[in-house]
Structure 1
Amino acid sequence: MTEASKTPGTRPAGRVLGVLLVAVLVGFTAQQLLTPILAPLSRELRLSEVQLGIVITVAAVVFTLGSIVWGRIVDVWGSRRVLLTGLGIALVGMVGFGLACRIALDAGWGTPATLTALLATRSVLFGTGIGAVPVAALAYVSAATTGEQERTKAISLVGAAQAVSLIVGPGVGGALAVADLLAPVYLAPVLLVVVMVLVLVMVPGLDRSAPARDIPGRVGPLDGRVRPFLLVGFLLFLSLGVMQVVLGFLVQDRLDLDAGATAASVGTAMVVCGLVLVVMQAAVVPKLGWAPARLIRVGAPVAVVGYVLLALADQLWLITAGLCVVALGLGMAMPGYSAGATLRVDRTEQGAVAGLLNATSGATFIVGPLLGTALYDLGPAVPVWVSAACCVVGTVVALAGRALTTPDRAAPAAGGGIT
């Protein structure tokens, strides 16, 4: 029998869930280690801002499409196999990225060769592999829990692990880059190897005497059961994607700072914001015990208030306060979005839904940066007002009739979980 089916009640097995949370944290920390060095590294490699943007955009596209594929596969392979396969692909991509950067710097590769190597390694291989990590975690949690409260608690912890990586990764990467610009690139594969070993040792494999799995169900983005949640999630994540890309410009222009002071100010504000997001998802949401629909209906309007504060702010403390209110609202709404969608489908469809959830957030970070930078040309506050509008529309959708109601599901049966 699978790990999920051996767990009594509705709680996912503590050890397995703990390892999955570590995998999410470490996997995304490996990704975020590169955040502080991408801009200066691209200049050392003689890549333009547009070419760096291509690398990042292609990675987001691959992550989005790959998430849908992993969602189909996880219901057949199981979370353990998908997680190990994804981490392995990400490891190959990150090692290749490090080698490409080192050789390009030492051998003086031309721009076409460097760009091609970075697209193949960082964008395609790493983007494909890292997309499997949250899909595996969400699929396991969804198969191993039942009921709104337990599902929401567990999914909140997955979100908190990702939020922690947004703080730890850039902080460690920036510190290492002081000694060597490529030091974060060298550390990232080591972290991936460590977490792969942890999964191999700590997560049990499939008991081959277990009965065959049910045929996995297929769920598309237009499926009426999950469509309202995906729409709300897209709007909430789009608000974040639009705002994040212009935050540095907004801070620099509003406060009239130089590049160094801007980086320090944005970094400080984002760390504080990240801490609020972690506390909300790791502690507050599980403690509240609210239904997914209520989390969205309360969280989305709170985020609107935060964006309004940010749009009007003309001092760093006000900008930081606005970001914290946004984190407060989204920290409530996002776990509700993820948990609610998984509660709408049966156990044979959990992997497909996990892939759609991951793809939805990934898609907004393809559209968001392009939209945000275009809107910024119309005025510094315009992207922030658009972010607020996204959350307003999300609130309206969430309040519309019974669109976000979630039925209680029976306890998970054999076939879901880690294999």
Structure 2
Amino acid sequence: MQPKKVIFLSMIICYIGFGVIIPILAPLIREIGLQERHAGIVISIAALVLLLAAPFWGVQSDRIGRKKVMVIGFVGFSFSLAFFAFLGWMGMKDLLPINVVFILLLSSRIMFGFFFPAISSSSQALMADITSVQERSAGMAMIGAATGIGFIIGPALGALLSTINLIFPVIITAILALIAVILIAIHIPKAEPTVVANKRTKIKLTTSGLRPYLLIATSVMSMIVMLQVTSGFFIQDRFLLDSKETAIWVGIGMFAVGIMMALVQMTIIQKRQYSPRRLVRIGLPILLLGFVLLIEWNHLAGFVIAFMLFGIGGGFLMSGYTTGISLAAGKENQGAAGGLTAVATGVGSLVAPIVGTELYRIHPNTPYWICITISLLLIIYVFSSHKGLVIDHTAKKETRENKASLV
């Protein structure tokens, strides 16, 4: 199996693990006897650790190789999911005091946050290693498509298998992560192309063209995570659904996100090879429209259509900022670039869950009005900014070396 296919399948499994919890989190939290804010804290603690761990794994990916980091990441990832499932079962059975369950749930998410960026940063770096500059957008779109497919399967798996037991889909995902370890061990070569080993990375935040895409990544992930952590409560309260119905409809919504994201990235972006700037300019207005529709259309059909728009907009945006960061970093710093991408998305994931759940307590629509405001500000920025969103000198040099132009 080719390394590209292994990366693709590995990232699908990775994001199945990320997405499988989404439809079950709100009903699980309430089944255990916790409150909405506890769900926000559970998500935020993972984001905090991810933020701290991402630079470490990015550097290790450059130093010891993508394969080792991917294997370590998936083993820890699998254990964290299995531990989360076990604690969820203990909590629902009232076998432990509720405060103990909450603290242990936090510990399982700390493990999740630590090992997740090992997978994402090394996969992104490996894809950059094996693609030329002119193929970079398509390569990153392939990772984005895998993310979208993972979001299709993960929430759908969570919604479907939660009818057996709320924690059963998490157990299945832990097993899938071990399968990913086997695929990587067999099919990823020991010496990946263009890996720079035993060399300190020199990527700086002052690098031309880097900061705008980091800002976009952080802002977009803040909105996405705020949506993820509140959508279960939102749909349950607005349409008066029970726990299983909530899990199913959130699963349908996430399925819509994933399938539209995958379609955009596997068709339009793969064929068109848009520049990063154009990708974010297309994605942001679509994302904005999704939030407006979510608030204004008081029907389950509107909920699903809004999530389809989130998938389309997210597909363009994810490919845009990952490609922009990769090109700005230069080919010798792709592990560090993957780490920076994880840091940027981690920053967004850190604050958004707690802020989102607290805003939800004020009014169910408040988190989404905040997202609308952020989207509008970003739209103004990306359409008025020309200098900061173009490919930097490092990417231009690499482009000239490959006799291709991406601007």
Which category describes the TM-score, using the shorter chain as reference length? 0.7 to 0.9
Matched, 1:136 2:119: no
CA distance in 2, matches of 1:181, 1:265: 14
For residue 164 of structure 1, what is the aligned residue in structure 2? 149
Q: CA deviation at 1:377?
A: 4.7
For residue 33 of structure 1, what is the aligned residue in structure 2? 20
2:155·2:254 contact (CA, 8 Å) conserved in 1?
no
2:23·2:248 contact (CA, 8 Å) conserved in 1?
no
Q: CA deviation at 1:69?
A: 1.5
**Structure 1 residues 379 and 281, CA, compared in 2 at 3 Å: closer, same or farther?**
same
CA distance in 2, matches of 1:211, 1:232: 27
**Partner amino acid, structure 1, of 2:113:** G
2:84·2:109 contact (CA, 8 Å) conserved in 1?
no
Matched, 1:258 2:241: yes
Q: CA deviation at 1:55?
A: 2.6
The one of 344, 351, 367 aligned to 1:360: 344
CA distance in 2, matches of 1:17, 1:90: 21
For residue 408 of structure 1, what is the aligned residue in structure 2? 396
Q: CA deviation at 1:272?
A: 2.1
The one of 175, 188, 194 aligned to 1:203: 188
**Partner amino acid, structure 1, of 2:121:** V
CA distance in 1, matches of 2:380, 2:396: 24
CA distance in 2, matches of 1:312, 1:38: 25
Q: CA deviation at 1:185?
A: 3.5
CA distance in 2, matches of 1:145, 1:109: 50
Q: CA deviation at 1:82?
A: 0.8
**Structure 1 residues 60 and 177, CA, compared in 2 at 3 Å: closer, same or farther?**
same
- Report the identity percentage: 26
Matched, 1:188 2:203: no
Q: Secondary structure at the match of 1:179?
A: coil
Q: Secondary structure at the match of 1:216?
A: coil
CA distance in 1, matches of 2:144, 2:196: 31
Q: CA deviation at 1:224?
A: 4.4
**Partner amino acid, structure 2, of 1:335:** S
Judge which range, 281-290 or 307-316, deviates more.
Answer: 307-316
* Cα deviation digits, residues 306-358 of structure 1 (max 9, x gap): 33333322333333333323322221122011101111122222111111111
CA distance in 2, matches of 1:384, 1:39: 18
Q: CA deviation at 1:222?
A: 5.3
Matched, 1:78 2:78: no
**Partner amino acid, structure 2, of 1:315:** H
CA distance in 2, matches of 1:380, 1:38: 17
* Cα deviation digits, residues 83-141 of structure 1 (max 9, x gap): 01111222333344445556667792333443343333x21222211221111111112
**Partner amino acid, structure 2, of 1:275:** I
Q: Given the two structures, how large is their TM-score scaled by the length of structure 2?
A: 0.86
1:14-413 equivalences in 2 (<5 Å): 15-42=2-29, 45=32, 47-100=34-87, 108-120=95-107, 122-147=108-133, 149-206=134-191, 213=197, 215-221=199-205, 223-252=207-236, 256-259=239-242, 261-399=245-383, 400-406=385-391, 407-410=395-398
Q: CA deviation at 1:164?
A: 1.3
Q: Given the two structures, how large is their TM-score scaled by the length of structure 1?
A: 0.83
Q: Secondary structure at the match of 2:390?
A: coil
Q: CA deviation at 1:375?
A: 3.3
**Structure 1 residues 289 and 185, CA, compared in 2 at 3 Å: closer, same or farther?**
closer
**Structure 1 residues 72 and 43, CA, compared in 2 at 3 Å: closer, same or farther?**
same
**Structure 1 residues 63 and 310, CA, compared in 2 at 3 Å: closer, same or farther?**
same
**Structure 1 residues 268 and 259, CA, compared in 2 at 3 Å: closer, same or farther?**
same
2:91·2:98 contact (CA, 8 Å) conserved in 1?
no
* Cα deviation digits, residues 266-293 of structure 1 (max 9, x gap): 4333322321111112222112221111
**Partner amino acid, structure 2, of 1:150:** E
**Structure 1 residues 51 and 212, CA, compared in 2 at 3 Å: closer, same or farther?**
closer
Query: Of the two, which has the highest radius of gyration?
Result: 1
Q: Secondary structure at the match of 1:410?
A: helix
Q: CA deviation at 1:215?
A: 2.0
2:7·2:127 contact (CA, 8 Å) conserved in 1?
no
Q: Which has the higher helix share?
A: 2
2:50·2:117 contact (CA, 8 Å) conserved in 1?
yes
**Structure 1 residues 259 and 74, CA, compared in 2 at 3 Å: closer, same or farther?**
same
Q: Which runs of 5+ in 1 are unaligned?
A: 1-13, 414-419
Q: CA deviation at 1:43?
A: 5.2
Q: Secondary structure at the match of 1:344?
A: helix
**Structure 1 residues 200 and 412, CA, compared in 2 at 3 Å: closer, same or farther?**
farther
1:302·1:328 contact (CA, 8 Å) conserved in 2?
yes
1:61·1:362 contact (CA, 8 Å) conserved in 2?
yes
CA distance in 2, matches of 1:211, 1:252: 48
CA distance in 2, matches of 1:98, 1:253: 25
1:55·1:118 contact (CA, 8 Å) conserved in 2?
yes
Q: Which runs of 5+ in 2 are unaligned?
A: 402-407
1:145·1:412 contact (CA, 8 Å) conserved in 2?
no
**Partner amino acid, structure 2, of 1:159:** G
* Cα deviation digits, residues 67-90 of structure 1 (max 9, x gap): 222112111112111101111222
1:75·1:352 contact (CA, 8 Å) conserved in 2?
yes
Q: Secondary structure at the match of 2:298?
A: coil
